[in-house]
Structure 1
Amino acid sequence: MALTPELTDKSFSTTEKHNLQFEVLIDIGNKAAKQYGLSFKLTNALTEVYKNGVGLKNYNSDDSSELPIAATYLIDTNGIVQYAFLDADYRKRASIIAIINALKVLTTK
Structure 2
Amino acid sequence: MALNKELSTTYDQFLETAPKEISSVIVDAASNFKSVYDPAKAIQPGSPFPQFQLSDAIGNKVSLNDLLAKGPILVSFYRGEWCPFCNVELRALQTHLDEFHQKGVTLVAVSPELPNQSLSTSEKLSLKFPVLSDVGNQLAKNLGLLFPQPESMRDVFDKFGVDWNQRYGNDNLELPVPATFLVDKEGIVRNSFVNPEYQYRLDPETALHWIDQL
Give the TM-score of the pair, scaled to structure 1: 0.87
1:60-100 Cα distance to aligned partner (Å, 9 max, x none):
11011101111100011122211111111222110011011
Per the alignment, residue 184 of structure 2 pairs with: 76
Per the alignment, residue 63 of structure 2 pairs with: none
User: CA separation in 2, counterparts of 1:89 and 1:50?
Assistant: 18
Deviation at 1:52, TM superposition (A): 4.1
The higher-RCO structure (CA 8 Å, 6+ apart) is: 2
Structure with higher strand content: 1
Asked whether 1:94 is paired with 2:202, we answer yes
User: CA separation in 2, counterparts of 1:51 and 1:5?
Assistant: 18
Q: Secondary structure of the equivalent of 2:126?
A: coil
Task: List runs of 5+ in structure 1 lacking aligned partners.
Answer: none
User: CA separation in 1, counterparts of 2:139 and 2:158?
Assistant: 23
State how many pairs are aligned.
106
Letter in 2 for 1:44: E
Change (3 A) 1:29 1:20: same
1:39-67 Cα distance to aligned partner (Å, 9 max, x none):
11111211221244222222111011101
1:7-37 Cα distance to aligned partner (Å, 9 max, x none):
1111111111222222111111111111221
Matches within 5 A, 1:7-86: 7-53=114-160, 54-86=162-194
Identical aligned residues as a percent: 36
Q: What RMSD over aligned residues (CA atoms) do the two structures have, in Å?
A: 1.4
User: CA separation in 2, counterparts of 1:49 and 1:58?
Assistant: 16
Per the alignment, residue 103 of structure 1 pairs with: 211
